[in-house]
Amino acid sequence: MDFKKIKGNLVHKTAIINWKYLSIGKNNIIGPYVVIGTDAQHIKENSNGKIIIGNNNIIREFSTVHLPTKLRKITFIGNNCHFMTLSHIAHDCYIENGVVFSNNVTLGGNTYVMKNSQLGFNTTVHQNQVIGSYSMIGMGTIITKKFRVVPGYTYVGNPIKKIKKNIIGLKRKKMSSNNLKKETIRFKEIIKKHNLYE
């Protein structure tokens, strides 16, 4: 498949990467025609800052990761994430560990995705959103501007609706009710810290 070992990562020869503005860990797999480090898609703000990617991530073909603006100055991806084909991570997004995007997930700018959440096929996320940890987002879901995607639940629809607790996901990750409460507190702290939902 014509992958090359670059800085401890497997990078396909067709990938387009702006290495000057990228800080990357080890054991990542960057697939065919992935584009990392092009300018932010923002009408008013110029790109300003860098992209940080951790370890052990898979970024599949035709996915894109954009540079940040002065808003956050970092577009961030943690560790052990899997971004399937045509995933789009916009400017100033922050993605914690263990996140899974199915094909064609699109994040608006300055979206914060908490750990161990899963976004189904063709999910679209409005900018300035927070996706709570241990969330399961059904395919084709449209996450609108003001809707609160709190940790530990299953969501689906256009517009989005909360369906039920993500029992299977929480059980697999051995999440107790007490730990889920802590994640909900952290969810609220992230909103306050980053002035999201504005």
Handedness of CA 111, 196, 40, 17 (dihedral sign): negative
Q: What is the pLDDT of residue 19?
A: 98
What is the CATH number for 90? Answer: 2.160.10.10
CA distance 43 to 64: 18
State which residues form the domain around 17: 3-194
Task: Assess contact for 45 and 66: CB atoms under 8 A.
Answer: no
Rounded alpha-carbon distances, angstroms, from residue 143 to 23, 103, 104: 30, 16, 14
CA distance 131 to 113: 5
Q: What is the pLDDT of residue 196?
A: 79
Strand order in the sheet with 118-119: 3-6, 9-12, 29-30, 58-59, 82-83, 100-101, 118-119, 136-137, 153-156, 161-165
Q: What is the pLDDT of residue 194?
A: 81
- Residues of the chain where predicted confidence (pLDDT) is lower than 50: none
Q: What is the pLDDT of residue 198?
A: 63
CA distance 183 to 175: 10
Q: What is the pLDDT of residue 53?
A: 98
Task: Assess contact for 67 and 38: CB atoms under 8 A.
Answer: yes
Residue 12, SS3?
strand
Q: How many domains does the chain have?
A: 1
